[in-house]
């Protein structure tokens, strides 16, 4: 599927489906897990929220970036410290080669956060829906969690919720999420999620999360709130 194949209705459906945004309630501190990337927006988000008292634990993830050779989590940690985030607040997973491993190799830190009574907030690209599915699929007992999104830059262009169909690098990534997530849920390698009252909730049974929407390619995966229906 390419941008030329997409109608305005399809663009709306895809955008609504892949969008991870589900921030914590105002004033609620949570542990923030920064999914690996060679862009720095996650650091700015986490540092700002730390200084507001909203990110008492920050989990930096990511091994060697295949594009420029940096070790993503180590760069995150250094940049956070430069922004006056204490090293004691930061946990660093610097071996992962993919999104699944970002979570898998961070499990001790996620358990630490949950054990201290903190919920989890994923910080990742706005369309990178596999981040929330990996969290739900890898972390035992995770029930409800949040997500804060950011807009990446590719080919010197910001890939946001309106521009992505016209930017080849953005279109390729967004459409990949749209195609892969339902497939992974259907085959059982991703847990089913539903966005409920502004948070992501793990759905282990149909009864627990309600009947899926009909007539939508993504219905088996995401039974979302009325404002997000697609």
For residue range 37-93, list pLDDT tens digits in order: 999 999 999 999 999 999 999 999 999 988 888 999 999 999 999 999 999 999 999
Total-model pTM:
0.89
The pLDDT of 199-213, averaged and rounded, is 63
Per-residue model confidence (pLDDT) at position 13: 96
Distance CA 100, CA 175 (A): 19
Edge-to-edge order in the sheet of strand 90-93: 90-93, 57-61, 31-34, 120-125, 144-150, 199-203, 192-196
- Give the phi and the psi of residue 58 in degrees, each rounded to 5: -125, 125
pLDDT at residue 126 above 90? yes
Burial class from Cβ neighbours inside 10 Å (0-12, 13-18, 19+) for residue 32 reads: buried
pLDDT at residue 204 above 80? no
Q: Which is higher by pLDDT, 6 or 208?
A: 6
- Grade residue 118 by pLDDT with cuts at 50, 70 and 90: very high
Distance CA 129, CA 81 (A): 28
Q: Residue 196: which H helix or E strand, with range? A: strand 192-196
Distance CA 175, CA 28 (A): 33
**Axis-axis angle for helices 8-18, 168-187 (nearest 10):** 60
């Amino acid at each position: 599927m390419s941008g030329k194949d997409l109608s305005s209705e399809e663009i709306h459906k895809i955008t609504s489906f892949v969008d991870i945004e589900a921030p914590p309630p105002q004033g609620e501190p949570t542990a923030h897990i920064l999914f690996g990337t060679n862009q720095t927006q996650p650091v700015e988000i986490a540092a700002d929220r730390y200084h507001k008292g909203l990110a008492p634990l920050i989990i930096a993830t990511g091994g060697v970036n295949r594009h420029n050779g940096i070790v993503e989590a180590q760069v995150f940690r250094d940049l956070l410290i430069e922004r006056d985030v204490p090293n004691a607040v930061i946990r660093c997973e610097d071996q992962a080669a993919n999104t699944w491993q970002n979570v898998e190799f961070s499990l001790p830190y996620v358990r630490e956060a949950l054990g201290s009574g903190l919920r989890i907030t994923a910080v990742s690209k706005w369309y990178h829906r596999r981040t929330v599915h990996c969290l739900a699929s890898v972390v035992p007992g995770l029930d409800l969690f949040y997500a804060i999104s950011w807009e990446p830059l590719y080919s010197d262009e910001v890939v946001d919720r309106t521009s992505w169909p016209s930017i080849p690098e953005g279109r390729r990534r967004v459409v990949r999420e749209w195609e892969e997530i339902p497939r992974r849920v259907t085959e059982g390698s991703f847990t089913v999620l539903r966005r409920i009252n502004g948070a992501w909730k793990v759905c282990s049974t149909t009864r627990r999360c309600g009947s899926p929407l009909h007539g939508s390619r993504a219905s088996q995966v995401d039974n979302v709130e009325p404002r997000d229906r697609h």
